[in-house]
Every structure is written in C-alpha cells, then in structure tokens.
C-alpha cells in the first residue's frame, strides 16, 4: 500500500484563528529533538518562562505553557482552583464566556452568570455590582470575544476583585500578542493565552501565568502522583482535596517547570521550539509597535469594507482590534461567498456562532496574517465573490480606499 505525500494547498488565512504561522516559527519546529531534561532544553524552558512574563506584562514567577490547545490552559487553571460547590461568576458576552461556564460547571462549581446582547460589552460597574451580590470565590471573564468582535474592559473589575479577595481569571487567548494584556496592572490573578492567534504559532500550547494568590490555592491541593512521589512528597501533601485532573494539575506542573523537573509528562519539544521563537519575534518587534501594527491593518480593512458599502457589525469603543465582523448583505448566500473566496482565491474567512450565525463574517488580522498584502487580498476576494453572487456593493472602491489609507500612512511616517 502506497500513501501519497500530503501537500496542503496554499492559503491566506484571515480567520480569528488559526492564523498563518510565521516562517521563522516553522523553521524552528524542524530543529532536531532534544531530551526533555537535556540542559540545553531546560535552559530554553527557562527562557520561555522569562519571555512569557514580558508578553503578559507581569512579575509573576509562574509563566509557562500547557501542552494542548487554548482550552487546555483554561481547563488547567480552572480545575486547579475550583472545588465542588465553589461559587464562580462569569460575565457572558459571547460564545467563549459560555465555554468558561461549561468548564467550571464540569468541575462542580456553583455557576452565576450575567449576560448581555452579543455585540456589546459590560459596563464594568454592572459586573462589579453583581460580584458584590454573588460574593464568588472566582470571577472568570473573557477579554477578547472572537465570536462577536468585542473586547471587555477589565482593569476596574480586576481591582474590585482584589479588594474583595476574589480570584480573577482571564481568557486572553485572542488578545495576547495583538493588543494590550496588562496582567499586573489589571489585577489579574491568572491569565490564559493561545498560540494559534496573535502569536502566530500553530495550535498546540496554551501559555498561562498566575500569581501567588492562585499558587496558594493550588499548593493546598498538591498531590504528587504515585510512582514518582518521594517520601517528602507524601509527608507534605496539601490539606485540601487533590486537583481532579492529573494532566492539568498545576501543582505538579509547577514542579515540572521548576529546578526539580518532576517527570510529570513528556514535553512537546517541537511545539516549545515554536513558542520560543514566536515569543522571540513578538519581543523583537516590541509590544507597543506590534499593537500599533494590528490597529493600522484593522483600520485599513475597515476602510475597505465600508467603502464597499458593507456594514461593520461592531464599531464601538470596545471593538476587538484583531477581529472585524462584517454584516452579511440581505439575501446573499453567506457560505457560498466564503466557499468562493476559499476555492477561487485561497482566502479563508470565518462564519460565526449562535445568534450571529449567518448574520456576520469574521475577519481576523492577527500576528503574521496581519500584513498589508493579506488585507488587500482579502478585500479583493470578498468584493469579487460578493459581485459574483449579485450583492449590491460599490465595486472597485474597497481596494482603492485601503490603498489610499496605506499610502497616506506611509507618507506620514516618512515625514516623521
């Protein structure tokens, strides 16, 4: 039996994730495998921890990746701090707030939620008022909600949680590396990122960071597994029930990511190479300039879309700068447009979920996909596909508007 070599087609990926991996990241992934306790490898592990602190803008000691997709990071943090009956409060403004609810619920939490219309965010004071009413152990919130293209302001909520001695956990999967995520300044106790979005690393790791407040809860539940536990481990078990999951047990993962190098699992070597290089690229570019770059390409995309005569679904102060949601014209075959863009141009954009399915397209401008040529190409493919399906749009204006935006920005930069 002969199995042909798989050669994936060339794509321009403009979804809210995954996005195109940076070529430097792909090269790093092809490096030879090292043993997980080789000093050359553990040295790189330490570099990853230090670099993640900078990206998360934190002085936390604990900053390391969980092996798995982004939700593995959410699971690791939540399962390590939730015990059955704990009150968890979740403000929901899209699909991924619902995901936090789903995860917390499965670990036995008593769930309390506050919901707003998809496409809006909460006034922080409304969230704080509900927190004061519920008095939860944990508040878990999404920062950038890719299902709606919105970004929730967090600083006031985080400060209120700290003042009330409530743990504040934030899903920053969509925002880390693309817009500000200020863990310490916003009083975030634990933050979870993703590799496959603004970091431009393939899906497969979830960078997390957490402070001593989380660590205290985790250590109270510490239990090193049989077979690798020492006599000292057995004498110093935590005084609370052990963490439900073995794989996502932060108390053991801390020992893996510390000088002890507890043999908890076999590290995903090539993925760590990728994350190391991806974060190195982020820090080389500089966080402030990187955030500016994402904003500029977002603006160029919005300019082109609106010049075509299409409406931006979310266009308020708290629009997520790395995802632009476009309202689908009435009577247009939404899936047909997406399929034409993919099959004829090799350009991929996303549909949406729940109440917004069939009403909006979602276009990501994230990480390595956030480039001028990609923005111009997605506008061309979208306009041509809409024209094919008979949409009433202003033909020829999108590309010209985006080009005018880019050239004016370039001229302004040259003039200093």
For residue 412, what pLDDT band results from cuts at 50, 70 and 90? confident
Per-residue model confidence (pLDDT) at position 416 = 66
* Rounded distance between C-alpha atoms, residue 190 and residue 83, angstroms: 17
Domain 23-282 has CATH 3.40.50.720: no
Binding-site residues for substrate sit at 362
Nearest residue to 314 (alpha-carbon basis) of 347, 264, 256, 359 = 359
Q: Residues 110, 284: contact at Cβ < 8 Å?
A: no
Provide CATH 3.40.640.10 ranges for the chain.
23-282
Res 258 pLDDT > 70: yes
Q: Tell me which of 51-60, 63-72, 120-129, 229-238 is least confident.
A: 229-238
Res 394 pLDDT > 80: yes
Which position has the token pair 């481990």?
A: 233
* Rounded distance between C-alpha atoms, residue 409 and residue 63, angstroms: 37
What's the pLDDT tens digit per position in 8-63? 999 999 999 999 999 999 999 999 999 999 999 999 999 999 999 999 999 999 99
Long-range contacts of 35-39 (CB under 8 A, 24+ apart): 36/266, 36/267, 36/269, 37/261, 37/263
* Rounded distance between C-alpha atoms, residue 82 and residue 63, angstroms: 20
Question: Mean pLDDT over residues 199-224, rounded?
Answer: 98
For residue 1, what pLDDT band results from cuts at 50, 70 and 90? confident
**Residues belonging to the chain:** 416
* Rounded distance between C-alpha atoms, residue 327 and residue 308, angstroms: 12
Per-residue model confidence (pLDDT) at position 409 = 83
pTM strictly above 0.85: yes
* Rounded distance between C-alpha atoms, residue 330 and residue 53, angstroms: 46
Mean pLDDT of the chain: 96
Q: Residues 205, 67: contact at Cβ < 8 Å?
A: yes
* Rounded distance between C-alpha atoms, residue 164 and residue 106, angstroms: 26
Three-state secondary structure of the chain = CCCCCCCCCCCEECCCCCCCCCHHHHHHHCCCCCCCCCHHHHHHHHHHHHHHHHHHCCCCCEEEEEECCHHHHHHHHHHHHCCCCCEEEEEECCHHHHHHHHHHHHCCCEEEEEECCECECCCHHHHHHHHHHHCCCEEEEECEECCCCEECCCHHHHHHHHHCCCEEEEECCCCCCCCCCCCCCCCCCEEECCCCCCCCCCCCEEEEEECHHHHHHHHCCCCCCCCCCCHHHHHCCCCCCCCCCCCCCHHHHHHHCCCCCCCCCCCCHHHHHHHHHHHHHHHHHCHHHHHHHHHHHHHHHHHHHHHCCCCECCCCCCECCCEEEEECCCCCCHHHHHHHHHHHHCEECECCCHHHCCCEEEEECCHHHCCHHHHHHHHHHHHHHHHHCCCCCCCCHHHHHHHHHHHHHHHHHHHC
* Rounded distance between C-alpha atoms, residue 405 and residue 189, angstroms: 40
* Rounded distance between C-alpha atoms, residue 8 and residue 231, angstroms: 51
Domain 286-415 has CATH 3.90.1150.10: yes
What's the pLDDT tens digit per position in 266-287? 999 999 999 999 999 999 999 9
Q: Tell me which of 25-29, 35-39, 229-233, 401-405 is least confident.
A: 229-233
Provide CATH 3.90.1150.10 ranges for the chain.
286-415
Per-residue model confidence (pLDDT) at position 238 = 79
- Among left, alpha and beta (phi > 0; psi -120 to 50; other), residue 216 is alpha
Res 414 pLDDT > 80: no
Per-residue model confidence (pLDDT) at position 190 = 99
Binding-site residues sit at 362
């Amino acid at each position: 039996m002969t199995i042909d070599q798989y050669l994936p087609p060339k794509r321009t990926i403009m979804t809210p994730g995954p996005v195109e991996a940076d070529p430097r990241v792909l090269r790093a992934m092809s490096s030879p495998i090292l043993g997980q306790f080789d000093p050359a490898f553990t040295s790189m592990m330490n570099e990853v921890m230090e670099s993640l602190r900078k990206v998360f803008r934190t002085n936390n000691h604990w900053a390391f990746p969980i092996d798995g997709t982004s939700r593995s990071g959410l699971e690791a943090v939540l399962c390590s701090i939730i015990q059955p009956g704990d009150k968890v409060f979740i403000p929901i403004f899209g699909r991924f707030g619902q995901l936090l609810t789903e995860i917390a619920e499965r670990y036995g939490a008593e769930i309390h939620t506050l919901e707003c219309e998809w496409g809006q965010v909460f006034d922080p004071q409304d969230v704080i008022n509900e927190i004061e009413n519920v008095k939860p152990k944990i508040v878990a919130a999404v920062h950038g909600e890719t299902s709606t293209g919105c970004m929730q302001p967090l600083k006031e909520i985080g400060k209120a949680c700290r003042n009330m001695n409530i743990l504040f956990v934030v899903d920053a999967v969509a925002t880390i590396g693309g817009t500000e995520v200020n863990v310490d300044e916003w009083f975030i106790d634990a933050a979870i990122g993703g590799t496959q979005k603004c970091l431009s690393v393939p899906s497969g790791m979830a960078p997390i960071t957490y402070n001593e407040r989380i660590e205290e809860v985790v250590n109270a539940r510490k239990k090193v597994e049989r077979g690798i536990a020492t006599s000292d481990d057995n004498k110093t078990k935590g005084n609370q029930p052990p963490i439900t999951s073995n794989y996502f047990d932060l108390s053991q993962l801390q020992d893996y990511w510390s000088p002890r190098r507890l043999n908890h699992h076999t590290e995903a070597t090539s993925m760590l190479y990728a994350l190391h290089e991806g974060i190195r690229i982020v820090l080389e570019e500089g966080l402030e300039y990187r955030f500016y770059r994402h904003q500029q390409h977002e603006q160029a995309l919005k300019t082109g879309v609106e010049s075509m005569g299409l409406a931006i679904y979310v266009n308020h102060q708290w629009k997520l700068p790395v995802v632009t949601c476009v309202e689908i014209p009435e009577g247009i075959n939404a899936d047909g447009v997406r399929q034409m863009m993919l099959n004829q141009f090799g350009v991929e954009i996303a549909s949406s979920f729940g109440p917004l399915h069939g009403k909006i397209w979602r276009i990501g401008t994230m990480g390595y996909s956030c480039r001028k040529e990609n923005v111009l190409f997605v506008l061309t493919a979208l306009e041509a596909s809409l024209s094919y399906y008979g949409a009433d749009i202003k033909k020829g204006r999108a590309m010209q508007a985006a080009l005018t935006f880019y050239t004016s920005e370039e001229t302004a930069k040259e003039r200093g």
